[in-house]
Structure 1
Amino acid sequence: MTAAKLHADEADTSAPLVRALLAAQFPQWAGLPVTPLDSAGTSNAIFRLGADRLVRLPRTAGSAEDVTKEHRWLPYLAPQLPVAIPAPLGQGRPGEGYPWPWSVYAWLEGEAGAFTEPDLSAVELAHFIAALHRIDPADGPPSYRSEPLAARDQGTRAAIAELAASEGETVDAEAATAVWEAGLRAPAHPGAAVWIHADLQPGNVLTLGGRLNAVIDFGCLGLGDPAVDLLAAWYLLPTAAHPAFRAALPADHADDACWARGRAWALSTALGELRYYRDTRPAMAGTARQVIRRVLTGRGRPV
């Protein structure tokens, strides 16, 4: 059965394709069962491979560009981080009608985004971010979200206007514009770019027993403004846990200017996701609505 498509330029993916790719390139794993997973992610089709591996097939050419980056940098970052991140086991080549490189990874246990102790989780999340930001950035590539906020101005304002006028949506254009402009006015990060995950959303953190166990999906990984990773506050935490989150971060990565930029990043990202996925990915659109509500009102349950 072919996986449902989310993008106009998406390749066909399926369990039979995965089996054929494994048989041709990784015969040592070809006999393992292959099970499609209903992942929250939108960049890769995910298949569980046996009990302790998974296969990721990029859905688009743009996502395929991340494969080499992840195989190069994740093993470098992993020993310097306080929680597990994906461990690449094999990098596949185009073949069997599939056009791009692909990956085999070790399986990581956990439940996506299910924090049960928000204040404790806020500290654990902050410690992960702080550790990532401390890693030597030498030779690191730019993040997918490495641009300044000003470069997103036109698209963000267009999304605000479109969603505010859309039937069934409740985006407050005035409030959203005020948050966005506050981020634009905030002073820029004064130091060098740092390593950022840049996509700390519910589907990209795994918990065990309500505690942070792993961070996954590093497609946006690279160097950028530390404020980008603060979008996690609005994507992953209730507003009441924000003080604990900020207090556990390095002071210069959570000052008022950085916080304002992070809030603007959360808003811009969520607006873009709601605009793009509201008809094709209801779960992601629902998360985006929750984030927008939390950014604009300070209310909303954890997602």
Structure 2
Amino acid sequence: MIRTAQRSRLVTTVRPAITGELVGRLVDTQFPRWAGLPLRLVEPAGSDHVIHRLGDELAVRLPRHAGAIGQAEKEARWLPRLAPHLPLPVPVPVAVGRPGFGYPWPWAVSRWLDGEMATVEGLADAPHTAVVLAGFLDALQRVPCTEGPSGDTRTLADRDGETRAAIARAAGVFDAAAMTVLWQAALDAPRWDRPPVWFHGDFHTGNLLAVRDRIRAVIDFGGLGVGDPARDMTIAFTLLSPGGRATFRKALRVDEATWTRGRGWALATGLNAYHSYAATNARVAAQTTRQITQALAG
């Protein structure tokens, strides 16, 4: 297992060049039945994967950095078990590719899911959005989890040092005193003391697909795990309006402690992404700025 500090260094230092030519060679040699199908780069893609559409029905996802290692195998193992219980489509794994031609990690082929990345402009104030999101998480949490992946096992307390450092670095952009108060409240909130439930682990706008301003699919289950569902509250602060958050919280029956921990997760992950990507990606800058400010608002 890669320790946290080692993972952080790898994320920033190991960035293989992923070209269309490389992807084509990997597909053609490992999966000859798809050889010659057209490849089209998907933009914008997330910070973790380079995505190509393969023909009309498939998608190829290659991790950009070591922090995304293992997602292909995780999704191939667990999503077929979860999908029948969920009210929205999720990726349908088709194959897991091997390293090759200098590319160092496993990669995935899955069924193509139609839709565009969800946006605040299209969905934040739509009355059905909060209900759909709450319904998805409620269904996910109800799936029996006698076994399951651990996901990111770090607690909020495990992130204390790095989050306080991130607060200090962002003091010129956001209200440092308010961030510190929120962070301490999240640390002090009672921990999850009920049986573990499934969580997506990275539930934000970038991992939702929408068609005509309606959520149509949930993707990117690299953070999938079982335990405390508070981290999935992040979606309330990346996407929903204040009214939508109230609807979402009521529909999902979120208690005060879980909501407060969720605000802490939104703050911590928002700050991490802001410092890592916002300077070079306007979309991430806008998303993380909203995530942080809305988490502070509650």
TM-score by length of 2: 0.92
1:178 maps to a residue whose letter is V
Greater than 4 Å deviation, 4+ residue runs: none
Deviation at 1:280, TM superposition (A): 2.9
CA distance in 2, matches of 1:102, 1:50: 17
CA distance in 2, matches of 1:22, 1:171: 45
Q: What is the SS of the residue equivalent to 1:198?
A: coil
- Superposition CA RMSD, Å: 1.5
Deviation at 1:37, TM superposition (A): 1.4
Match of 2:33 in 1: 28
Percent identity of paired positions between Structure 1 and Structure 2: 45
CA deviation string 1:5-62 (max 9, x = no partner): x843111111101110111011111111111112341111111111121100111233
CA distance in 2, matches of 1:25, 1:272: 36
Question: Which of 40, 50, 59 is residue 45 of structure 1 equivalent to?
Answer: 50
CA distance in 2, matches of 1:43, 1:20: 21
Match of 2:6 in 1: none
CA distance in 2, matches of 1:51, 1:243: 39
Any residues of structure 2 matched to 1:1-303 within 5 Å, and which? 7-114=12-119, 115-116=122-123, 117-144=125-152, 146-165=153-172, 170-249=173-252, 251=253, 254-297=254-297
Is the CA contact (8 Å cut-off) linking 1:118 and 1:238 kept in structure 2?
Answer: no
Match of 2:8 in 1: none
Deviation at 1:149, TM superposition (A): 1.1
Is the CA contact (8 Å cut-off) linking 1:39 and 1:45 kept in structure 2?
Answer: no
Q: What is the SS of the residue equivalent to 1:164?
A: coil
2:154 maps to a residue whose letter is E
Match of 1:3 in 2: none
The count of residues paired between Structure 1 and Structure 2 equals 285
The runs of 5 or more residues in structure 1 that have no matched partner are 1-5, 299-303
Deviation at 1:178, TM superposition (A): 0.9
1:175 maps to a residue whose letter is A
Match of 2:7 in 1: none
1:206 maps to a residue whose letter is L
CA distance in 2, matches of 1:234, 1:57: 28
CA distance in 2, matches of 1:246, 1:281: 30
TM-score by length of 1: 0.90
Is the CA contact (8 Å cut-off) linking 1:22 and 1:29 kept in structure 2?
Answer: yes
